[in-house]
Structure 1
């Protein structure tokens, strides 16, 4: 069984663990139909349009 030869320092350990915390903020765009904010390449939750066409009917 593999055993570490030396103790991993706290700085090295924490640097490796902090790589997961570097998440990016998602892009938010304006819907061309209703001008609400939405995620790109997704149907607008406010009006139901995608790519200029009504995909779902929103009441």
Structure 2
């Protein structure tokens, strides 16, 4: 079993644990209503996907 030869300092140990930040999802503009939406998803505002009405908008 691998055993550390020396004690790892808190700075070196905590450096590995600093990957907690999230990234913003990439948003694209809907070609029909020009609102921001997730790519490859139905637009929540107008209900269009790939140039066709898929979901009836309220």
TM over 0.5: yes
* Superposed CA RMSD: 1.8
Distance 2:14 2:57 in 1: 47
Please, which runs of 5 or more residues in structure 2 have no aligned partner? Answer: none
What's the TM-score once normalised by structure 1's chain length?
Answer: 0.75
TM-score for the superposition, normalised by structure 2: 0.75
CA distance in 1, matches of 2:7, 2:34: 55
Q: Structure 1: 5+ residue runs without aligned partners?
A: none
* C-alpha deviation, 1:24, in angstroms: 2.2
- Give me the whole-angstrom Cα distance separating, in 1, the residues matched to 2:44 and 2:56: 10
Matched residue pairs, number?
Answer: 58
Q: Output the CA distance in 2 between the equivalents of 1:27 and 1:42.
A: 12
Match of 1:13 in 2: 13
